[in-house]
Chain A
């Protein structure tokens, strides 16, 4: 088991390293981050040279990569174009994004598993068809359409009807909110509800379809028929015999989709103007801020790798038949 984890970690680090090289070369070749500064005829030559020196733009791309790489090994992600250290910025923006990603992930797991199981127990009936159709509907809806719909046709009408902001549509908290953690809870809920819902609706549907089909597959197993023929009630068979096996495979699917969840967060943050990782990354890409782009990509990739590893381990714990070697 330990050898399996070790092997996986080494392979993942290789993938991460390759990704950083590719992204570095791509972003470094994509344009001059100081273009605007240079286009301004009033900028003194010396200050351009100084900025270039600060950003290492006067060095070759392999040299710049080496500076970045050795920095990361020391836990230093470099500085943004404006000279602010990237590391602390990454963590403040991450805290904002996690406020929507973690509740959305938990909610989506609960909703998807219960809907999938429910749908499978009603196989072929209208409840089943309804759940499947709804899942397909949300699978086909782009995240920004869900987000904009909730923003303009749910939040704004409600707020207008009650003449006050019940569901906030901008930012992760009100700048005016004061007091301790518990006093700020209503404000946080008002800001978090819709973005979290958007993210849930963006990811839950494929899990529902998957969960439903695993339960159906398990239902057709011989041991289920045996349990039923022994006279065990339908309910008990479902809980004790079917679900125990049918809840395992979905862990892998959810872990693999974590990258998609972070991608969805980029869109949700744009729609609801949350100053989280996604918006930070988008601004970094637009400004050609190579350290910001790399920090974001390395962070998301590492999170996804850790999630996948955890899912594999959980799989082995949940299903004793699985052995990694």
Chain B
């Protein structure tokens, strides 16, 4: 990110000077955003905590790949040095299970966010740029998902696909196919105003087609909104997936997720509180971190629309 532009400028031939001047301005914006983000203590805290948990989970499951499913001979043990988070009634080491579950949740959330980002940008972009009947079709679908609780649709869908074995990617695709509407609405709104700007007119005059204008001119201008809301989709996906797993309709044994661990731990929550506290706490911390990152990105990329700052 921190390329030395002063030096690069002197090396480039004259012909390219316009282009590099432009890219310097763009990179300058990114650098300013990065600086704003770095100065945001809560966002940096969120990012570092999130990455640390993920790193520990990855290393742990790499070194000890079967740890989360292996049964030990100590049953219902409270947290100790041998079992940091204690063990379950069947002798499962909760520390390994929580790390594996956290990893699973984050992977699902990333898949969901990628699907939502792509679908939301394309659907919202096409609707906002072309308007008319395409817009009407996309927006009616968005309306549909606004009036029925998302959770209710997911409950119906996951029950339907339960027969074919609830694998984690099935859950991820289902949530992804339903949560792009939020991004689509915002991208559409941005495009509706961006498409009237003179640079779009200029591009049209130069003969650029719709696809080129959308992806080369409009998407870069709306990239802040897209990035911020993709981050928020990550946290939304984690909330939805854990809720589904809690209801027994998402991730089911022999796979593991934090929501499922909470569901299994709830029956003995008063006598063995660690069975509830650790998975629930980990879930909470992960989602909170993503929120902080999203909020920091919002302030860094789009300070005008900041939600939580003065």
Residues of A within 8 A of B (CB): 11-12, 14-16, 18-19, 23, 26-27, 29-31, 123-124, 128, 132, 136-137, 139-145, 148-149, 152-153, 156, 209-210, 212-213, 216, 256, 259-260, 262-263, 266-267, 270, 281-282, 285-286, 288, 293, 296-297, 300-301, 304-305, 308
Given A152-B266, A285-B155, A301 and B259 contact (CB-CB distance below 8 Å): no
**In the bound complex, what is the Cα–Cα distance between A142 and B262 (angstroms)?**
11
Q: Is B129 interfacial (CB-CB < 8 Å)?
A: no
Whether the pair B243, A144 counts as a contact (CB closer than 8 A) is: yes
CA–CA, A128 and B309, complex, Å: 10
- Known A142-B246, A145-B280; judge A209-B146 contact (CB<8 A): no
Contact B147 A148 (CB under 8 A): no
Contact A144 B246 (CB under 8 A): yes
How many chain B residues touch A (CB < 8 A): the figure is: 43
CA distance A141 to B143 in the complex (A): 26
* Contact partners of B144 in chain A: CB under 8 A: 15, 18-19
**Cβ of A94 to closest chain B Cβ, rounded Å:** 15
> Which residues on the A side are within 8 Å of B307 (C-beta)?
209-210, 213
Q: Are A23 and B283 in contact (CB under 8 A)?
A: no
B150 interface hit (Cβ, 8 Å): yes
Known contacts A213-B307, A263-B152; is-contact A286 B159 (Cβ 8 Å): yes
Selected from A128, A145, A262, A286, the residue in CB contact (under 8 A) with B149 is A262
In the assembled complex, the Cα of A186 lies from the Cα of B122 at a distance in Å of 55
Contact with A along B216-250 (1 / 0, CB 8 A): 00000000000000000001000100110011000
Tell me the smallest distance from the CB of A145 to a CB of chain B, in Å.
5
B160 touches A29 (CB 8 A): yes
How many angstroms from the CA of A286 to the CA of B158 in the assembled complex? 10
Note all chain B residues with C-beta closer than 8 A to A301: 147-148
* Min CB–CB distance A254 → chain B (angstroms): 14
* B positions within 8 Å CB-CB of A: 140, 143-144, 146-152, 155-157, 159-160, 163, 235, 239, 242-243, 246-247, 259, 262-263, 266, 269-270, 273, 276, 280, 283-284, 287-288, 290-292, 295, 306-308, 310
Residues of B within 8 A of A152 (CB): 266, 269-270, 273, 276
Main secondary structure of the interface of A (DSSP, over half): helix
Most buried by A among B148, B288, B307: B148
- The 8 Å CB contact of B152, one of A16, A148, A296, is A296
- Known: A136-B288, A152-B273; 6 extra A-B contacts, CB below 8 A, are A19-B144, A123-B310, A136-B295, A143-B243, A149-B280, A213-B306
